[in-house]
Amino acid sequence: MFHNILRGGVIKSYLKQDYDHILLISRHTIEHVADPHLIVRECANVEAADVRLFLETPNFHWILEHMASEDIVYEHCSFFTPKTMVALLKKYAFTMTFFENTFGGQYMCVEARKVLPFKKSVETFTDGERHFREFWESRLQAWKQQGKTVFVWGAGAKGVSFLNSLDPKRERVSAVIDINPNKQGKFLVGTGHSIISPRTLQNREGDIAIIVMNELYLEEIKTQCRAVCLKGRVLFYTLHTS
């Protein structure tokens, strides 16, 4: 039984709730369990799209290197080196994503992520893609009814894919903004959305919604919009973090 920490409280229950992301933390426990496979196996049985396991346990390399026989105590049923820990995690479809020696090298901290079988990964992606599409269809339709002017920022592959999927008839998005002068004045492949310069927004009034195709450029795009002194209120959205 694992304890779930949720919104500052502790829920004592088996992990049967429908969570997308789960982090299981076990510090200085696995070495005390007669069957260390039990902990990792139970964590692997948790159903979620993203399951992470964090373990902290003595590093047997340090014990050997320092001849620390006093650390070989009867309470510890098992000892692990980084290599044996990786082997144990791999047996139950976990792959290591973080490793660090702590407490002067005496302990090791390991984070591992459960690797979904390929079929399960495809199913998860399919479900996520459906939710993504439904979310953006609903949002675009709501903006249209509210009279908002909507733009997509980025006439690259992401913009082409997004608009061909969600606005193929150019009914919800006014145009695509791109800083590349070689694209400006042309049209997006498939949908035919016009590609415009950021300066075209200068005389726009009213609420403007800009969907940024790559969130890594969000702050840069905000700076560029401020530079052209937009008259209306501008709201920025990214595909996966809005």
- The single-letter code of the amino acid at 130 is R
Supply the pLDDT for residue 1.
37
Query: Rounded to an integer, what distance in angstroms lies between the CA atom of residue 177 and that of residue 33?
Result: 59
Could you give all domains of the chain from N- to C-terminal order, each with its CATH number?
A: 3-118 (3.40.50.150), 128-238 (3.40.50.720)
For the CA atoms of 186, 240, 133, 136, what is the dihedral angle to 10 degrees?
-70
CA 2 to chain CA mean position, Å? 24
Q: State the Cα–Cα distance between residues 84 and 92, nearest whole angstrom.
A: 13
Amino acid (1-letter code) at residue 26: S
**Tens digit of pLDDT for each residue in 57-111?**
888 878 778 787 877 878 887 888 888 888 888 887 888 888 888 888 788 888 8
93: tokens are: 């479809």
Q: What is the pLDDT of residues 34-48, one digit of tens each?
A: 888 888 888 777 777
The number of beta carbons lying within 10 Å of the beta carbon of residue 39 is 19
Strands 234-238 and 175-177: unpaired
Output the DSSP codes for 66-125: TT-GGG--TT----B-HHHHHHHHHHTTEEEEEEEEEGGGTEEEEEEEEPPPHHHHHHHH
207-229: pLDDT as tens digits? 889 999 988 889 999 888 888 76
Q: Which of 203, 208, 199 is nearest to 233 (CA)?
A: 208
- Residue 161 gets which letter from DSSP? H
pTM: 0.52
Contacts of 103 (CB under 8 A, 6+ apart): none
